[in-house]
Structure 1
Amino acid sequence: MKKSLRNTLLINIGAFVLVLSLELLGGWMLIDRYDTFYSFYLWGLGFTISIMTVIWINHFILIPYFFDKKKYLLYGLLLIGAIFLGVSLKIYPEFNWIGITKMSSFLIYTTGTGMAAFFLRRSVLMQRQKEEKEKLQKDMELTYLKEQVNPHFLFNSLNSIYALSRQQSTETPEVVMQLSELMRYQLESAKKDTVLLKEELEFIENYLLLEEKRLSKRCTIEFSIDGDVLGLKIAPMLLIPFVENAIKHGAQSTNEQSMIAVSAVIKTNTLYFQITNSKPHMQDASKRKGLGLENVKRRLNLLYPNSHTLEIRDAEKAYHVNLSLQLKNDQ
């Protein structure tokens, strides 16, 4: 509030000085008509006071209390009254029609110019406030979505360990260690806006290795990387929900033989991320909707609004995800 008041005060003092300077410069050719420079200065000051009085009444009283409240007729009448007040301040006590007409025309012109500057400045300020609100909302939403990813991933991983422990698998301790490494990466990456694509793909590879141990021989998992990943950065934990979705609604939901194929192809700073997973013969389509998948769609729209395409195709025997994403290279 104090900063806004100070800025308003400085702007109006600056406007007063500017108008006074313009009046003195505009009347400099007529300075010989005045006995002294002091009287010439008083003449310019009188004009400036008349102009700024009308402008200030218009800006601080008439526009906020009448124009903005759509009381246009009353606003117009009061503005005419303010202009005549400005005329009176300048030509008093010598009232004549020529002086009134000239001064009125001049004040109408300067008031219109002042209104144009006022609405332009207000439009800029409103646009800036809107952008700041949108940025704040975006940051808050991204933080909320990122916080939801962590427990979602942990929940799925703990399910994997639980399944191995029920099988009394000798690999359970090793899987617990792998999970701790995955969680360490996740916690560290959650503090950053972007991570190296190389690290994110390694995280996915380790997660797939963990799931491969849990699913044993009933699921074939393939993972491939093609292209140069050096220097490319990506938002953390952005790709893993697609992988989790493929496992949860593919191999995890059936005892049938299944497959998951994940590929990452990098061409000229564009990531082409593809996942294909087989579908069980019998599956309720409503169960395919999950929190993680909805979150990643929203994050993509917020973080990469004009630099990604996402296609999710539910075919008869397989589920396909095709994501293309333009990434930044910090090298």
Structure 2
Amino acid sequence: MSKKKEILYHIIFWFLFVGLEQLLKSITVYKDLDTTWSILQNLGFLLLELLIFYSNYLLICPKTIPNKRWRLLIVAQFGLIILFPAIRFVYEEVILFKITGYHNYDMRDLDPLYYIYDNSYYSIRILLFSLVGYFMKYMWNTNTQVTQLIVEKKQAELQSLKNQLSPHFLFNSLNGFYSDLYDTNPTVAADILKLSEMLRYVTYESENDMVLLKDEILFLQNYIDLFKRRFDGKVAVTFIHPHDFGTYKIPSLLLIHFVENAFKHGVTDDDDNPVVVEAKTQSGRLIFTVNNKYRVTQSYDEHGIGNKNISQRLNILYPENHSLNIEQDTQYYNVTLIIPLS
């Protein structure tokens, strides 16, 4: 749902909500109330409803519902149910009393529990509206993203079929070259084996939504090794990672984009400022960083299609549960990606 549509729906909702509420009050509320007190009370009450509604809609729901943190959501709802009468009491019985001299409740025998109970209708009502509104928005956006993913996947599959050359033919040919060169030129044979493994990984493993983290790291290592080989080893790059990632899984081909960007745009021949790629796990999350220097004449396109595709993919896979931080100054480009491991 676009922001413009969302804002329009909210304006319509509040117009109808306030209109019906004022119509009901005009029928049921006594006509001889102090006009100043009535205007200020209605205005403050509306602002309080807006505060509770959007505290739930914009802060609590996005932090709990996408990540299925239901306990925290329930606790937060009870907190807002208590917060509503607390703010109302301060505004109406303290501030408005000083301004107009009128109380809304009889303060002589007002019981706190009764006050909370008496206001629960208003607080629960506005919370239910905010929950329903957020769930409708969430379902709308989720369905839109799923539809977009299906279309993009079909397009990718079609493009893959158009460009496909029999993988078995490629693998068998590369394995034949590897066997022929194993004894006479082991260095080239090792490079051919790495290339064969990369092709196999891209062809088969990328079809899976999730792959072993250790396989993704091996794919990056082979890519870096071949890049070094291409330039006769005159490449300043450091790849730091543990030897064992266990059985952790991540989305396939998620990390290669950032390494490709560093090699494409970065300075790779400065031993004092190498491209540094690091992958580590911490508290059940992957922390992946790429840091590199780049020439002033070369500028990254931070809003390029590659970064946009990665951001969209992360938003779908890990809504509100990931971090992609890209920092760029006049000389250095730094990327930090943090995602949960499965």
User: When the two structures are superposed, what TM-score results if normalisation uses the length of structure 2?
Assistant: 0.46
Highest CA radius of gyration, 1 or 2?
1
User: When the two structures are superposed, what TM-score results if normalisation uses the length of structure 1?
Assistant: 0.47
